[in-house]
Amino acid sequence: MASSKYSDDMPGRLLQIAKDNPNIGFTNQEIGALLDGVTPRTIVNWMNAHPLFMEAVQEVKDERDAVVTNALFTLCKGFAFTETKIVKDAEGNTVRTETTEKNVPPSPVSCFFWLKNRQPDKWVDINKTEHTIKTITKAEDLSDDELAKIAATANTTDGGSD
């Protein structure tokens, strides 16, 4: 069973582990697995009890979020890159090197995702419809004009059939 004992070197260990593992997102579950196999709940407990550990966890997560944010922003803008292709003959000898400039256009899906999250009031994909309902307890309380409007509405919503 893994030890759930906290030690004062945990923040430093975490930062070093993060440096050594740049391709891990560092969820609490991943952090726990890398720090002696402790549970995500233990990671949360340590964060609550040890401010320096909390700062280290937040630093690592912020760094990872920044990498993803930059990648998403790059996809939103589009980008260019140079592709180098080495052409070889049947014996495996290099015949020539071809260099090509390539362009990747902006990704509409990435743009929409970015805008939905950055400007949710402007880019929400839920349509809201508001309805007002007037409750009537007695038809006798309505004027002739109100009864005529109700009758006209009823005729248009049910196809005018009797």
Answer for the pair 18, 60: CB distance below 8 angstroms, yes or no: yes
Would the pLDDT of 127 be above 90? no
* Mean pLDDT over the full length of the chain: 88
Strands in the chain per DSSP E: 79-88, 94-104
Residue-wise over 36-49: b if at least 16 C-beta within 10 A, else e? eebeeebbeebbee
Please give the residue that has the higher pLDDT: either 91 or 159. Answer: 91
Say whether pLDDT at 130 is over 90.
no
pLDDT band at 54 (very low <50, low <70, confident <90, very high): very high
Q: Please list, in sequence order, all residues whose beta carbon lies within 8 angstroms of the beta carbon of residue 123, skipping any fewer than 6 positions away.
A: 112, 115, 116
Q: CB under 8 Å to 154, separation ≥6 — which residues? A: none
Mean pLDDT, to the nearest integer, of 31-44? 93
Give the pLDDT score at 121.
Answer: 86
| Percent residues over pLDDT 70 in the chain | 91
> 91 falls in which pLDDT band (50, 70, 90)?
very high
Segment 73-86, tens digit of pLDDT: 999 999 999 999 99
Is the pLDDT reported for residue 28 higher than 50? Answer: yes
Look at residue 63 in the predicted model and tell me its pLDDT. Answer: 95
Q: What average pLDDT score do residues 9-33 get?
A: 94
Spell out the residues 6+ positions from residue 112 whose beta carbon is closer than 8 angstroms to its own: 123
pLDDT at residue 1 in the model:
46
